[in-house]
Amino acid sequence: MEGNRRLERKVAIITGAASGIGAATAHRFAKEGAYLILTDVNEEALKKVKDQITGAGGRVVTKRIDVGKEDEVKDLVDLTLNEYSKVDILVNNAGVMGDLAGIDAQDGDVWHHVYDVNVLGAVYGTKYVAGIMQKQKSGAIVNISSVAGIRSGAGGNAYSASKAAVINFTQTSACDLGEYNIRVNCVCPGLIETGMTQMVFDYAREKGKEKKLGSRCELRRYGRPEEIAGVILFLSSDDASYMTGQALAVDGGNTASLNLPGMKF
């Protein structure tokens, strides 16, 4: 496998690895020499990712879990220890969108589900790797938030609030774990073509408006999953050894601007 081997023999857990950003991160980490534990609720798609990576010479173990269920997350971390005897990296990537309902139609069940996956998934993962990383006196955790956690307008109410919570949890857990040389950072992607956003892309293409997607970003385009994977790699690697508690927007400059209507030509 090609790559710069920046994660040689590092053990990395990636959640939501069957699709989109998680799958791209799994492929990139494998190229960089990492040993992987990949998980998702979508077993069939997860197996495809595993087959592709093992076919290219990578080392992968997969297990279906729902990250919103604490006992399943604990089982996954136990499995990682049994397989590899350590955990160097955790990427809390699994996420769901929820709905786009108006304020008068907010649904508690949707909020609970979005929070279970997007927030508690990261909390449980961090909880169960923390003890191991504390003993190792090293570790890197990367949470996937969103530009929706920074500004309104990139998702529904529950989604945006959950992603803001992920940024804050990144800070509080970084403070709890810093003295053990465990770094916790987060990435806030802008619009990326993945399973989660496929409907938006399909609709825009159908209407001949694909170019409009991402046109309000400073780079005038939407992003690719590989462009997020590269930043997750950076934060997971020793190149970011003095970084913790940070949220990096990877959004083509979208959150750098107020994007006032009519100001872009």
Ligand X SMILES: NC(=O)c1ccc[n+]([C@@H]2O[C@H](COP(=O)([O-])OP(=O)(O)OC[C@H]3O[C@@H](n4cnc5c(N)ncnc54)[C@H](O)[C@@H]3O)[C@@H](O)[C@H]2O)c1
What is the full DSSP assignment across 10-77?
Answer: -EEEEESTTSHHHHHHHHHHHHTT-EEEEEES-HHHHHHHHHHHHHTT-EEEEEE--TT-HHHHHHHH
CB of 148 to ligand X, least distance (A): 6
Task: Tokens 């209407």: give the residue.
Answer: 207
**CB-nearer residue toward ligand X: 106 or 197:** 197
**CB-nearer residue toward ligand X: 104 or 109:** 109
Maximal CA-CA distance, the chain: 57
Determine which one of 159, 180, 203, 222 is catalytic. Answer: 159
C-alpha distances (whole Å) from 47 to each of 19, 103, 195 are: 11, 39, 16
Binding site for ligand X (CB under 6 A): 15-16, 18-22, 40-42, 66-68, 93-96, 117, 144, 146, 189, 191-192, 194-197
CB of 163 to ligand X, least distance (A): 7
Structure tokens given for 2: 């090609």
CB of 51 to ligand X, least distance (A): 16
CB of 264 to ligand X, least distance (A): 20
Residue 115 among the catalytic residues:
no
**CB-nearer residue toward ligand X: 58 or 223:** 223
Alpha-carbon distance of 216 to 193, in angstroms, equals 16
**CB-nearer residue toward ligand X: 84 or 115:** 115
Measuring CA to CA, which residue among 164, 90, 139, 170 is closest to residue 240?
139
Active site residues: 159
